[in-house]
Amino acid sequence: MGSLNERLYHTGDFILGLFIWMFSLFVIEESLRMPARGHLGILCYPGFVPFFSGLMIFLLSSWQIARSYRGALRAGGLAFAEWIRDVRLSLENRRFLAVLFIMCLYVIVFLGRIPFIVATFLYHLAIFSYLRIGRPPAVFFWSVGATLLVAVVLPYFFDMPVP
C-alpha cells in the first residue's frame, strides 16, 4: 500500500483527467456542429482542426484516467475526501479556483447579456482587484487600459468583430 501523498497525487491526476476528458467531448461536439462546406466534407470545414484536436485530447485524457486509476489502486485506492480537504486548505488552489470562477462568470454570465466593453471592464476590474495589483486607483487604471486594448485596439487593428 502506498503513502497518502501518492494516493493524493493519483487522485488529482484522475480528477483532472476526467475534467479534460469532458472538455474534449465538448470540443468534439461543437466542432461537429460547425457548418460543412465544399465537396471534401470534413476536410473543408472550420471544425476540422478543433475536431482532431478534441479527438487527440480525448484519447490522451482517457489514457491519463486509466493510468492514474491503476496507480491509485496500487497505492491503496483513490482518496477523494482527502484530496478535497487538501484543495480547500491550499492557498494556491483557492486562488486558482477564485480566478477560474471569475473567468466563468465573465464567459457564462456577462458575455452576450451586457455590452462587451462593459463585461470586459468588469472582468478586468474583478481579476485585478482579486489579484491585488495595486491600490484602487491603479486597479481602475489598469482595468480601463486592458479593456481598451481588448475591446477597442485589438479589434480595430485586426479587423475582428467583438461579441
pLDDT digits (tens, 9 = 90+) for 83-130: 888 878 888 878 888 888 999 889 888 888 899 899 999 999 999 999
Same domain as 118, residue 59: no
Rounded mean pLDDT of the chain? 85
For the cut 90, the answer to whether the pLDDT of residue 38 exceeds it is no
Residues 69 and 14 sit within 8 Å (Cβ to Cβ) = yes
Q: How many CB atoms lie within 10 A of CB 29?
A: 11
Structural domain ending residue among the three candidates 88, 103, 137: 88
Same domain as 126, residue 76: no
Helices 91-104 + 116-130 axis angle, to 10: 170
Q: Among residues of the chain, what percentage have pLDDT more than 70?
A: 91
Same domain as 72, residue 3: yes
Diameter over CA atoms, the chain = 60
| Three cell numbers, residue 45 | 470545414
> If pLDDT is split at 50, 70 and 90, which confidence band does 41 have?
low
Same domain as 81, residue 56: yes
Q: What domain range is 149 assigned to?
A: 90-162
Structural domain ending residue among the three candidates 88, 118, 146: 88
Structural domain ending residue among the three candidates 88, 112, 128: 88
Query: CA–CA separation, 121 vs 140, rounded Å?
Result: 9
- Give the CB-side neighbour count of residue 128, counting CA atoms within 13 A: 21
Over residues 137-147, the pLDDT tens digits come to 999 999 999 99
Give me the torsion for CA of 81, 82, 83, 89, rounded to 10°.
Answer: 110
Query: Is pTM, for the whole model, over 0.85?
Result: no
User: Hey, what long-range contacts does 147-154 have (CB within 8 A, 24 or more apart)?
Assistant: 147/117, 147/120, 147/121, 150/120, 150/124, 151/116, 151/117, 151/120, 151/121, 152/117
Over residues 4-21, the pLDDT tens digits come to 778 787 888 888 889 999
